[in-house]
C-alpha cells in the first residue's frame, strides 16, 4: 500500500500546486499572488459534546468533588496537571500542557454557543452555520470567512479533511477536500473523460473537479488509518496542506466519540481519557509537521457543540449539557491562561439545575481569530460571518 501511495505522490507532486512556489520564488516573503493571507487556521470539531469538567478540571471549586461524585478526579491521584491553582489539565493532556506553559495555548471555560437546547445535530448545525439558530443559514461561517479573506470560486482557501465537506465550510467560497485512500491512482486522462461525461450534471461535475484539485497535496499517509490513528493522520494531512505557501488557509478536521453517556471514566481508564490521549497526539503531530515560521502564523481552534451535565448520570457517564470548553493553540497566541468567568459548580449556580452555566459566548473567541488573526473587520463579521454577534465582546486572545 505504501508503494502505491509513493506512486501517487510522485505522479501528482510534479504537476499540482506543489510546483507553484518555484515559479514564484521571487516573491517568497509576501503572500503568493493567488493566496491573500499567510495566516492559517485549523478548526478541530469534537463531535458529540466533550465533557469539559473531565478535561480541564476546576478542582479547586468547593463543590467539585461532591457534585462530580464518581467522576471526580482526586488531587493526590496524580491524574491531573495544575494549570493555575484552580484548574488542572487531565493527565492525558500533558503534551498540550507543554504548549500552555509556553504561552501557546489558552483554554476558554464555561463557554457556549447561543444554542440552549440539547440536540447534537442542531447544536452542531448552529455552531457551524454561525447564526443564532439551527439551520439559520445554508452556508458555514468559515466559508463566509474565507470569502471575506478574498477566497473566490477559483482560489480554494478552505480545506475539508474527511469524506464529505462539513457544514461549517459549505458555501460559495471554494473549498477543497482530502481523505486518505487505499486504492491505486486514477490517471488524468480518465478523470478528464469522466468530467466531460458529467457536463450536464452540476453536482457530480463540481465535486469531481474539487476532488481533482486536492489529490496532489497531502503526500503523507496515503494509507487510510484505522480508529484512533484516523484523527492523527487527518491532523498530519491538514498540517501538510496548510504548510504550503500557496495552499489552503482554513482547515476543518473532525474527531468524534465524545458523546460519553456511559463509562466515561475520569482518571486513567474509560472513554474520555482515551479520547484525550488521541487528541493530544493529533495536535502534537500537527505541530511536528508544521515549519516554525508557519506555526507562528497558525491557530488551532478546538471546539465542541456543547458541554455535558455537571452531575454524573446513572451509567457512569454524563448527558447532554450546555456550557463546555474550547481550546486555542498557536505560535503567537496570548496563551498560558484559562479564560473564564467561572460560574461555579454549587447546586444553585447550575444552568437549569444540571449544566455548567454559560458565561462566555464561543463567538468571542471566533471573533478574536477573525479580527486579530485574519484581519477581517468587525463590520463584516457582524454582518456576514457571525450575524447577530455585534454585542459579543471579542476576547483578547491573539
Partner 1 sequence: MSREIESFIVLNRFGYGPDSLGLSAFKASSMKFLVSQLEHPEIPKHLADKTGIELSHRFLTAVRANKAKDVQKIVRKDMIKDYTSFVSDIVLQRMQTKQPFVERLVAFWSNHFTVSIDKPAILGLLRDYEYVAIRPHITGKFEDLLIAVVKHPAMLAYLDNWQSFGPNTWFAKFSRKGLNENLAREIMELHTLGVDGGYTQQDVIELAKMLTGWSIEMRNRKEPYPKFQFHDKGHEPGPKTLLGRTYKEDGMNEAIAALKMLATHPKTARRLATKMAVHFISDQPPERLVRKMESAYLRSGGNLGAMTRAMLDAPESWAEPLSKVKTTPDYIVSTFRAINFTPKEIHTITSLDSLDYKPYKASSPQGFSDENEYWAAPGALIKRTEWAQEVAMRIMQKVDPFALGKGLFGPVMSAETAFALKGAESQKQGLTLLLMSPEFQRR
Q: How many CA atoms lie within 13 A of 259 on its CB side?
A: 10
Q: How far is the CB of 358 from partner 1 (least distance, A)?
A: 15
What are the angstrom distances between the C-alpha of 354 and each of 54, 60, 115?
16, 20, 16
Considering the complex, what minimum distance in angstroms separates the CB of residue 386 from partner 1? Answer: 23
- 174 contacts partner 1 (rule: CB under 8 A): no
**Could you say whether residue 320 binds partner 1 (CB under 8 A)?**
yes
C-alpha 291/C-alpha 150 separation (Å) is 24
* Using rule CB under 8 A, residue 153 touches partner 1: no
- When the beta carbons of 319 and 361 are compared against partner 1, the nearer one is 319
Closer to partner 1 by Cβ: residue 38 or 313: 313
- Residue selected from 95, 114, 162, 388 as contacting partner 1 according to rule CB under 8 A: 162
- Interface with partner 1, residue 176, by CB under 8 A: yes
Segment contacting partner 1 by CB under 8 A, of 21-29, 205-213, 292-300, 371-379: 205-213
Does 313 bind partner 1 (CB under 8 A)? Our answer is yes
Tell me how far, at minimum, the Cβ of 395 lies from partner 1, in Å.
29
Q: Does 2 bind partner 1 (CB under 8 A)?
A: no
Rounded CA-CA distance 178/238 in Å is 9
Q: Are 75 and 59 spatial neighbours (Cβ–Cβ below 8 Å)?
A: yes
Closer residue to partner 1, CB minimum distance, 48 or 331: 48
Q: Output the smallest distance, CB 197 to partner 1, in A.
A: 4
In the list 62, 78, 163, 269, the residue contacting partner 1 (rule: CB under 8 A) is 163
Among 29, 70, 154, 379, binds partner 1 (CB under 8 A): 70
Stretch that binds partner 1, among 11-19, 95-103, 186-194, 385-393 (CB under 8 A): 186-194
Give whichever of 68 and 373 is closer to partner 1, judged by the CB atom: 68
Secondary structure of the chain as H, E, C letters: CHHHHHHHHHHHHCCCHHHHHHHCHHHCCCCCCCCCCCCEEEEEEEECCCCHHHCEECCCCCCHHHHHHHHCCCHHHCCEEECCCCCEEEHHHHHHHHHHHCCCEEEEEEEECCCCCCCHHHHHHHHHHCCCCCCCCCCCHHHHHHHHCCCCCCCCCEEEECCCCCHHHCCCCCEEEECCCCCCCCCHHHHHHHHHHCCCCHHHHHHHHHHHHHCCCCCCCCCCCCHHHHHHHHHHHHHHHHHCCCCCCEEEEEEECCCCCCCCCCCCCCHHHHHHHHHHHHHHHHHHCCCHHHHCCEEEEEEECCCEECCCCCCCCCCECCCEEEEEEECCCCCCEEECCCCCCCHHHCECCCECCCCEEHHHHHHHHHHHHCCCCHHHHHHHHCCCCCCCCCCCCC
Binding-site size for partner 1 (CB under 8 A) equals 57
Tell me which stretch binds partner 1 (CB under 8 A): 50-58, 202-210, 239-247, 342-350.
Answer: 202-210
Interaction residues for partner 1, span 211-270 (CB under 8 A) = 211-212, 214-215, 224, 256-257, 259, 261-262
Shortest distance in whole angstroms from residue 25 CB to partner 1: 30
Phi, psi dihedrals of residue 89, rounded to the nearest 5°: -80, 145
Stretch that binds partner 1, among 138-146, 314-322, 364-372, 390-398 (CB under 8 A): 314-322
Minimal distance in Å, beta carbon 315 to partner 1?
4
Q: Which stretch binds partner 1 (CB under 8 A): 75-83, 203-211, 238-246, 291-299?
A: 203-211
Residues 123, 358 contacting (CB under 8 angstroms):
no
Residue window 9-48: x/- pattern of binding to partner 1, with contact defined by CB under 8 A: --------------------------------------xx
In the complex, which residues of this chain contact partner 1 (CB under 8 A)?
Answer: 47-48, 70, 117-122, 134, 162-165, 176-179, 181-186, 190-191, 193-194, 196-201, 203-204, 207-208, 210-212, 214-215, 224, 256-257, 259, 261-262, 313-317, 319-320, 352
Amino acid at each position: 500500500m505504501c508503494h502505491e501511495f509513493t506512486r501517487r505522490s510522485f505522479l501528482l507532486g510534479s504537476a499540482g500546486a506543489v510546483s507553484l512556489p518555484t515559479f514564484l520564488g521571487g516573491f517568497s516573503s509576501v503572500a503568493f499572488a493567488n493566496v491573500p493571507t499567510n495566516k492559517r487556521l485549523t478548526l478541530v470539531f469534537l463531535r458529540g459534546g466533550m465533557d469539559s469538567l473531565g478535561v480541564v478540571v476546576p478542582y479547586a471549586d468547593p463543590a467539585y468533588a461532591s457534585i462530580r461524585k464518581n467522576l471526580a478526579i482526586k488531587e493526590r491521584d496524580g491524574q491531573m496537571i495544575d494549570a493555575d491553582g484552580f484548574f488542572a489539565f487531565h493527565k492525558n493532556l500533558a503534551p498540550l500542557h507543554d504548549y500552555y506553559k509556553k504561552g501557546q495555548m489558552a483554554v476558554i471555560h464555561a463557554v457556549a454557543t447561543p444554542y440552549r437546547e440539547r440536540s447534537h445535530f442542531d447544536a452542531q448545525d448552529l455552531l457551524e452555520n454561525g447564526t443564532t439558530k439551527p439551520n439559520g443559514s445554508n452556508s458555514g461561517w468559515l466559508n463566509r470567512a474565507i470569502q471575506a479573506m478574498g477566497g473566490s470560486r477559483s482560489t480554494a482557501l478552505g480545506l475539508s479533511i474527511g469524506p464529505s465537506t462539513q457544514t461549517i465550510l459549505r458555501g460559495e467560497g471554494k473549498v477543497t477536500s482530502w481523505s486518505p485512500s487505499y486504492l491505486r491512482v486514477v490517471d488524468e486522462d480518465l478523470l478528464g473523460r469522466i468530467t466531460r461525461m458529467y457536463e450536464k450534471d452540476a453536482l457530480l461535475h463540481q465535486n469531481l473537479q474539487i476532488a481533482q484539485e486536492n489529490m496532489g497535496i497531502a503526500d503523507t499517509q496515503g494509507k487510510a488509518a484505522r480508529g484512533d490513528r484516523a484523527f492523527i493522520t487527518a491532523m498530519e494531512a491538514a498540517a501538510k496542506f496548510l504548510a504550503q505557501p500557496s495552499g489552503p488557509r482554513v482547515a476543518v478536521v473532525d474527531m468524534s466519540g465524545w458523546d460519553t453517556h456511559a463509562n466515561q471514566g475520569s482518571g486513567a481508564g474509560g472513554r474520555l481519557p482515551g479520547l484525550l490521549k488521541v487528541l493530544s497526539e493529533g495536535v502534537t503531530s500537527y505541530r511536528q509537521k508544521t515549519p516554525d515560521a508557519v506555526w507562528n502564523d497558525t491557530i488551532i481552534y478546538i471546539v465542541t457543540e456543547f458541554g455535558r451535565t455537571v452531575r454524573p448520570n446513572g451509567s457512569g457517564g454524563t448527558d447532554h449539557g450546555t456550557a463546555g470548553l474550547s481550546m486555542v493553540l498557536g505560535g503567537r497566541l496570548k496563551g498560558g491562561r484559562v479564560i473564564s468567568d467561572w460560574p461555579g459548580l454549587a447546586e444553585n449556580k447550575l444552568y437549569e439545575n444540571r449544566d455548567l452555566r454559560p458565561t462566555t459566548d464561543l463567538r468571542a473567541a471566533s471573533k478574536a481569530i477573525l479580527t486579530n488573526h485574519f484581519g477581517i473587520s468587525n463590520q463584516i463579521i457582524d454582518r456576514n460571518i457571525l450575524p447577530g454577534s455585534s454585542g459579543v465582546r471579542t476576547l483578547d486572545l491573539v
